[in-house]
Amino acid sequence: MEAQTYRVRVGLATCGIAAGASKTYDKLLPLLAEHGIVPERTGCMGMCFSEPLVEVISPAGETFLYGNVTEDKAEIIVEQHIVGGKPVEDLLVLSNVKETENSHFMAKQERILLSHMGVIDPESIESYLAYDGYKALAKAMQMSSEDVIKEVQKSGLRGRGGAGFPTGMKWNFAYQAKGDKKYVVCNADEGDPGAFMDRSVLEGNPHAVIEGMTIAAYAIGADEGYIYVRAEYPLAIKRLRKAIKEANEHGYLGNKILGTDFCFQLKIKEGAGAFVCGEETALLASIEGERGIPRPRPPFPATSGLWGKPTLLNNVETYANVPAIFRLGAEQYSKVGTERSKGTKVFALTGKIKKTGLAEVPMGITMREIIYDVGGGVQDDKEFKAVQIGGPSGGCLPAELLDLPVDYDSLTAAGAMMGSGGLVVMDETTCMVDVAKFFLTFTQSESCGKCTPCREGTKRMLEILERITEGNGQPGDIETLEELGEAIRDSALCGLGQTAPNPVLSTLRYFRHEYEEHINEGKCRAGVCTNLITYYIIPEKCTGCTLCARNCPVNAISGERKQPHVIDPSVCIKCGVCMEKCNFDAIILK
Amino acid sequence: MTEAQKCYAEDPFDYGPVDEILERFRGEKGTTIPILQAIQEVYGYLPRQALEYAAKKLKTPLSRIYGVATFYAQFHLQPRGENIIRVCQGTACHVRGGAKIMDALKDQLGIGVGETTEDRKFTLESVACIGACGLAPVIMINNDTFGRLTPEKIKEILKNYQD
Ligand SMILES: Cc1cc2nc3c(=O)[nH]c(=O)nc-3n(C[C@H](O)[C@H](O)[C@H](O)COP(=O)(O)O)c2cc1C
Ligand code: FES
């Protein structure tokens, strides 16, 4: 069916709203009403770099995605495009009828999970249904439990929460487990800083997660489920609430699902701000209302989980893949990806990368393709130094490994891990010792304190890193870090402690020279560790414009007008303002 | 009058909301955290009286409730400001200058992390990631997120919350 008029969509996820998309929407509403158009709300379109985003779709189905549409630009789009019929070239980010400078962002992506994101209205079940929503559930419910599980096994899907455990196998364990009461739980704690895929999926396509969980409940024989969402995601929680309510009303959740005897009650539990609650046993303790402290496994949740009952626990993205498996069929689904890592993975591209955003790529693509082809390369064309993958449990990979295929096994072999999908790009201005310290500070403060290696060991490692970055590193520190790191990795109780040394061990493996420079030469090449740097004005380059002196917050710079200036190192607080302000590149770090 | 109500009859503290919250969650499992969240929603923090009262009515040791309350970063045992500013110190924000944003806020408000301004207008906190990393550096004021910040923009944003 061809639409008669233009359609207009506004991306209203947390990132869009933070950039001002709500104001743009409010501005568009009356302007478009004059032309009989109601702007549609949708979730994340994945291109954070040019939020707020507005998409105009012509009656013939041509799409024009406009970027940086702050409220003042809404009028231009309505006047010129909707009324005048002429696309607004200046704001155009992407189009299906024309090449733009951003076409590369989509070229290597393969959008299966995200195919409806930025298209459907996350607050309307009708909108989800119009794109084959809940058809996968209907299909699965015509199959036996065993066949549903076999289909998931055949798809080759592995858990997207970090460890990559085969999903079908986990479902089978939960199915086989004896018990009259079983639970299905979704891990939406997304604690890795630098990751926001799960948030975007929950905000942009909540029904996909609900549908995946309902299929899981049908398969393992559960009648109750929980979604554990972190409290820092208020919009995701709001949209999930609405989606659950609508799914209940439409008979896709609750009692007598699709007119059968199958019942599944789904509830939301809000997290309360503890990273360790992303670990499955801690998460279950937290749902039970206790302190979120992990316990040793086995028993695994599949046999003894929530209130001691068999519990299936998967990540948001894992569940969101399930409807696609049943829509496409396992065989078709498993054509994408590598031998041992099937399907696609959504990555959050952040840090010093040109195009920040969400990218869904086939497993096995190289890191270079993700960073350079999709992400457009390093911001300001600085030199690439490292990419951090897998959050606080992951590692930093150097330029030499850019051609590494991105799949579970290759990443683990390289000392990193797939993790949840955060990719933080770092350039020459990032100090790798500082990054290692940053992560360890995080894990150290999030350690629940139950086991000694993690509680005490990470603290000792952090002390060493602190003294190295302060310029007091000692010979032997590197070896001690390695020894401690390996001991903690092998002896901590849960995944948090076992993986906490990874950022240190991986930077030691690939950026050892930076540690050595800090300790032996008292030098921080990135100019981050303030105790190890001094700002210096090159007399030949200084024109005596006085700009630096006027901006120095502590009056550490002196000199006559039109004469070279000097910085007094005993007063300087190393804030870097002078270097930022200088128009002649006369200030350098020594 | 129940046992618990009797003891508190003389107390000027308003226990009404706690009663209402406990009633709302009656009969459900695993409600400690949601109850604490609801209490904090009403009072802005977790007043000691409210926790003692809830413990008594729930027939749970206060130490257990206190244990939960102190485990999670979300819960506060001290009163907080009208507006809660949460500065992201996550990885993406860290490499894009999150520390400078924090410094600017400390400077403007004249308080440190975890502190509240004297007029009780603002509380400054840090958070490990808000999930808007694509717009780093990011802060959250109450439930609103602000991205692509520079120290200069902070002043403008604070103005909207000043009165
Ligand atoms: C410290 C720690 C934090 C974790 N955080 C998360 C998280 O935020 N989200 C998540 O899905 N899994 C997280 N996990 C992994 C879970 O324990 C669990 O393996 C996963 O949710 C299982 O789902 P999957 O099989 O679908 O991947 C974390 C693990 C550890 C040890
Ligand atoms: S790291 Fe700051 S929002 Fe994610």
Q: Is there a domain that residue A528 lies in?
A: no
Same-domain pairing of A502 and A439: yes
Same-domain pairing of A36 and A153: no
With beta carbons under 8 A apart, name residues in chain B contacting A289: 29-34, 68
Same-domain pairing of A45 and A172: no
pLDDT at A573: 85
Same-domain pairing of A351 and A387: yes
Residue pLDDT, tens place only, B38-97: 999 999 899 999 999 999 999 999 999 999 999 998 899 988 899 999 999 988 898 888
Same-domain pairing of A253 and A402: no
Give the residue from A427, A449, A484 where a domain finishes: A427
Same-domain pairing of A503 and A582: no
pLDDT at A61: 92
User: How far does the centroid of ligand 1 lie from the alpha carbon of residue A186, in Å?
Assistant: 10
CATH of the domain at A391: 3.10.20.600
Residue A134 to residue A214: CA distance in whole angstroms:
10
Q: Is there a domain that residue A148 lies in?
A: yes
CATH of the domain at A538: 3.30.70.20
pLDDT at B2: 56
Look at the alpha carbons of A247, A248, A250, A252 in this order and tell me if their dihedral is positive or negative.
positive
Q: Is A169 in the pocket of ligand 1 (CB under 6 A)?
A: no
SS (H, E, C) A353-386: ECCCEEEEEECCCEHHHHHHHHCCCEHHHCCEEE
Place of tokens 């799949």: A407
Q: Is there a domain that residue A289 lies in?
A: yes
pLDDT at B152: 86
Q: Smallest Cα–Cα separation from A16: which of B130, B127, B147, B86? A: B147
Residue of chain B nearest A392, judged by CA positions: B91
Q: Is there a domain that residue A338 lies in?
A: no
User: How far does the centroid of ligand 2 lie from the alpha carbon of residue A389, in Å?
Assistant: 14
Residue B95 to residue A261: CA distance in whole angstroms:
53
User: How far does the centroid of ligand 1 lie from the alpha carbon of residue A443, in Å?
Assistant: 15
Residue A573 to residue A535: CA distance in whole angstroms:
10
Q: Is there a domain that residue A320 lies in?
A: yes
Strand-pair partners of A65? A55, A94
CB atoms within 10 A of CB B35: 22
CB contact (8 A) between residue B37 and residue A272? yes
Pocket of ligand 2 (CB under 6 A): A 193-194; B 88, 90-93, 129-133, 136, 138
Q: Taking all residues of chain B, what is their mean pLDDT, rounded to a whole number?
A: 89
Q: Is there a domain that residue A115 lies in?
A: no
The number of domains in chain A is 5
Same-domain pairing of A242 and A159: yes
CATH of the domain at A64: 3.40.30.10
| Stretches in chain A below the pLDDT threshold 50 | 1-2
Same-domain pairing of A282 and A146: yes
Name the residue among B91, B96, B145 with its Cβ closest to that of A18: B145
SS (H, E, C) A466-489: HHHHCCCCCCCHHHHHHHHHHHHH
Q: The whole model's pTM is what?
A: 0.91
Q: By the 8 A CB rule, do A492 and A451 touch?
A: yes
Query: A516: domain range?
Result: 432-521
pLDDT at A1: 38
Place of tokens 């929503």: A133
Same-domain pairing of A413 and A436: no
Q: Is there a domain that residue A117 lies in?
A: no
B114-119: list long-range contacts, CB under 8 Å, 24+ apart: B116/B79, B116/B80, B116/B81, B117/B81
Residue A423 in 3-state DSSP?
strand
Same-domain pairing of A413 and A271: no
Give the residue from A333, A368, A384 where a domain finishes: A333
CATH of the domain at A444: 1.20.1440.230
Q: Smallest Cα–Cα separation from A584: which of A548, A534, A551? A: A548
Same-domain pairing of A402 and A516: no
CB contact (8 A) between residue B132 and residue A196? yes
DSSP letter assigned to residue A342: B
pLDDT at B12: 78
Q: Is there a domain that residue A550 lies in?
A: yes
Residue pLDDT, tens place only, A289-326: 999 999 998 999 999 999 999 999 999 999 999 999 99
Give the residue from A394, A412, A427 where a domain finishes: A427
Same-domain pairing of A370 and A440: no
CATH of the domain at A265: 3.40.50.11540
pLDDT at B5: 54
